[in-house]
Structure 1
Amino acid sequence: MLKQAATLWWLGVLESLNLQRCVVFLVLDSSKALGRAVVHCFVLNGCVLGGSTLLWECALLPAVQWLLRFLFAPVAGPLAARCAALLLQLCYHGLWLLPVYLVTMLVSCGIYNDVAKTAFLIKQKQRQQQDAHASTGQRPAGQAGAAGAGGGGGGGGLEDVAQEVYRVVLFCMFLGEVSLVGRLPYAGPALNVLFLSWLYAYYCFDYKWGLQGVRLAERLAYFERRWAFFAGFGLPMALSTALLPFYQGAAVLAVLFPVYILVACDSDVNAVHDRVMGKSGSGRLRHLPIFALAMWPTQRIVNSVAGGGEAGGGGAAVALGSGGGSGGMGT
């Protein structure tokens, strides 16, 4: 099983590097809305957020240090100069970088959603054209589940709202878990990269699964069954944040993220998994309860907000349902 997991992990890394798939989406998008969204994301995060970090690191900080060292320190002393440099850095981060980061992330969320919707519609249109040209009248192999998943969503209304609330709380808890894991001695940095890989990979595919109408419990179960592949798929994104300072890593990730959403929309996880495990071997790679630790506090929070009544039972159903198998999801 270890060899198969390592193979799936490596195939996940290779799958995430198939960036040429983005070009196909851009070519097939007759409205050019996809290209504009990607450009807007690059300008917003690469130029505004990334430029702000580089402005401080490459221009403002050296200038401030020079002025403090040669003009301020001889008068007030080196300790006062260091304190003044720290105060100026905190002011720049708190009054400029942090607001810019929050605004760009908020605006980028809408851009990511538009990118995913446009790519999903392009993929659907492509499948319909393939179905129309198929002489047998059957869907292409590996696409039947995806084409039919649109009707498998939640019951609508309050159930969809409850699922969304549960999802937001769950991933806030999981993000906190990632931060705590990264502080562990010795193994902390490696575990942090692993958990970030899972987190970013889930974010990329979650847009696609949501548009297909897949329930949250099925998404989590499917992800935990294919944990090795998704650990590899999210690795490039995780490294971009783990190896860079916070704001620089955030800018790089925000620029790359729409690209990986497009790659996820065109990825067939089942085909990659079946190539390694065999079509009847999905049970040989053991289920890994990645989200189990985050589910416990999530369940308590949701139950306390809902009053612990029937609404809490709905949250429990979502949590418990994530342990089942969802190998048939068309991804």
Structure 2
Amino acid sequence: MDNCRGILYAFGKGLLDSMRGILVLGYLDKEMNERSFGKSPVKVTQKTKDDAAIKPTKHFEESKVLKRFLQGCFLNGFIFLLSIILFNYGALPALKLLLTFLFGESSSTGMFMWNLMEWVLSRIFEVCWVIPLFFLIKVINCFWFQDIADSCFRFYRGRPQFMSSLSKLIADSLFSTLVQTLFLIQSMLVNLIPIMFVAEIACMVHICLLYSLYAFEYKWFNLGWELHRRLTFIENNWPYFIGFGMPLAILTQFTSSLYISGSIFSILFPIFIISGNEASPVTGKCDYPLRLFSPVVAISNYIFNQSIGQSSRTIQSAPVRR
């Protein structure tokens, strides 16, 4: 019973902590800039005719949390998401209404032309606008998310620690990307379980843990935590991280469209990055780790070992030129 209460408490705490970014977003920039400016040493230069000019000896780094968040809302919401909504619920219905007016509601010619034009226009819109803009925005979001995470980390904990060597940092980043990709595929596979509600719950648990990993990884990476430590921490304290990732997982599951879901994620994710830096995860409330990352870690290890082994054999078998 105590274990169940601990799991529920950790889940509820994670759920509440995920919302903290909304509360602090408005005044976080102001506090960051005041702290940065307050630490900037100043000196008095030679007096001018008007007054003594006081200038900082060096420029302080201005926080960009709110700016990046608003830029993300504009790019992901107003430009990308709104364009899809206007096309699907504005342009296409207007075209259908026009064809109905021209050919009549029960005309087979009108229906044929509408089906053909809808398919052609949808494909053109997707290939020429949605897909290129989707991937471009993904790249831009990566830089903006990093700006937000770095500003929050400096505010709460100071200078990032990172890892001991550049090679280890690169290897950890590549391995982490592979693990996350395979874990996303694993979540899709468990959604195919032919048992009512089991597939949906298993998939939701996977998505919650993955979104929590996304949000906390910026802080843990800056703390110098390696991937195995990050994943073990989530698996051992899974009730908290399921609760933390639940709101974002639910909000992105409202639509079956990958593009709309991705846009909603990109708009809201900065709030969860801030929440991750603010939060102190509840630990030690569950005696049973949830080893959901173990299969993809094993597969990733196999892929990396095979790749490294193949590279080593290629180097060893290469002829030596004299």
Within-5 A mapping of 1:244-263:
244-246=255-257, 247-263=259-275
Residue deviations 1:203-232 (CA, integer Å, cap 9, x gap): 000000011111111111111111110001
- TM-score between the two structures when normalised by the length of structure 2: 0.79
Q: Taking structure 1 as reference, are residues 72 and 99 closer, same or farther at Cα in structure 2, changes over 3 Å only?
A: farther
Q: SS of 2:291's equivalent?
A: coil
Q: Paired residue for 1:194, among 200, 205, 226?
A: 205
Residue deviations 1:67-94 (CA, integer Å, cap 9, x gap): 3434468473524432331232222222
Residues in 1 aligned to 2:269 and 2:149: alpha-carbon distance in whole angstroms: 11
Q: Which moved more, 1:11-20 or 1:231-240?
A: 11-20
Q: Taking structure 1 as reference, are residues 43 and 293 closer, same or farther at Cα in structure 2, changes over 3 Å only?
A: same
Within-5 A mapping of 1:153-172:
154-172=163-181
Residues in 2 aligned to 1:199 and 1:72: alpha-carbon distance in whole angstroms: 51
Q: SS of 2:225's equivalent?
A: coil
Residue deviations 1:77-125 (CA, integer Å, cap 9, x gap): 5244323312322222222112221111110011000100011111125
Q: Which moved more, 1:153-162 or 1:253-262?
A: 153-162
Q: Paired residue for 1:207, among 218, 224, 229?
A: 218
Where does residue 175 of structure 1 map in the other structure? 184
Q: Which amino acid aligns with 1:300?
A: Y
Residue deviations 1:146-180 (CA, integer Å, cap 9, x gap): x9xx65x5431222222111111111111111222
Larger-gyration structure (1/2): 2
Q: Which amino acid aligns with 1:215?
A: E
- TM-score between the two structures when normalised by the length of structure 1: 0.77
Q: Which amino acid aligns with 1:301?
A: I
Contact 1:5-1:285 at 8 Å conserved across structures? no
Q: Paired residue for 1:89, among 122, 125, 129?
A: 122
Residues in 2 aligned to 1:4 and 1:83: alpha-carbon distance in whole angstroms: 57
Where does residue 3 of structure 1 map in the other structure? 5
1:65 and 2:67 correspond: no
Contact 2:216-2:273 at 8 Å conserved across structures? yes
Where does residue 280 of structure 2 map in the other structure? 268
Q: Taking structure 1 as reference, are residues 72 and 291 closer, same or farther at Cα in structure 2, changes over 3 Å only?
A: farther
Where does residue 218 of structure 1 map in the other structure? 229
Q: Taking structure 1 as reference, are residues 71 and 180 closer, same or farther at Cα in structure 2, changes over 3 Å only?
A: farther
Where does residue 131 of structure 1 map in the other structure? none
Aligned length: 277
Where does residue 64 of structure 2 map in the other structure? 33
Say which structure is richer in helix. Answer: 1
Q: Paired residue for 2:193, among 184, 190, 208?
A: 184
Contact 2:100-2:110 at 8 Å conserved across structures? no
1:101 and 2:101 correspond: no
Q: Which amino acid aligns with 2:19?
A: L
Contact 2:208-2:244 at 8 Å conserved across structures? yes
1:229 and 2:240 correspond: yes
Q: Taking structure 1 as reference, are residues 4 and 70 closer, same or farther at Cα in structure 2, changes over 3 Å only?
A: same
Tell me the C-alpha RMSD between the 2 structures: 2.4
Where does residue 290 of structure 1 map in the other structure? 292
Residue deviations 1:238-264 (CA, integer Å, cap 9, x gap): 011111242222222111111110111
Residues in 1 aligned to 2:136 and 2:66: alpha-carbon distance in whole angstroms: 22
Contact 1:25-1:262 at 8 Å conserved across structures? no
Q: Using the aligned pairs only, state the percent identity.
A: 22
Structure 1 segments (4+ residues) deviating >6 Å:
none
Contact 1:15-1:267 at 8 Å conserved across structures? yes
Q: SS of 1:287's equivalent?
A: coil
Q: Taking structure 1 as reference, are residues 301 and 114 closer, same or farther at Cα in structure 2, changes over 3 Å only?
A: same
Q: Which amino acid aligns with 2:308?
A: A
Residue deviations 1:20-50 (CA, integer Å, cap 9, x gap): 1323422212124222111111111111111
Where does residue 49 of structure 2 map in the other structure? none
Q: Which moved more, 1:64-73 or 1:179-188?
A: 64-73
Contact 2:235-2:292 at 8 Å conserved across structures? yes
Q: Taking structure 1 as reference, are residues 78 and 283 closer, same or farther at Cα in structure 2, changes over 3 Å only?
A: closer
Q: Paired residue for 2:75, among 37, 41, 44?
A: 44
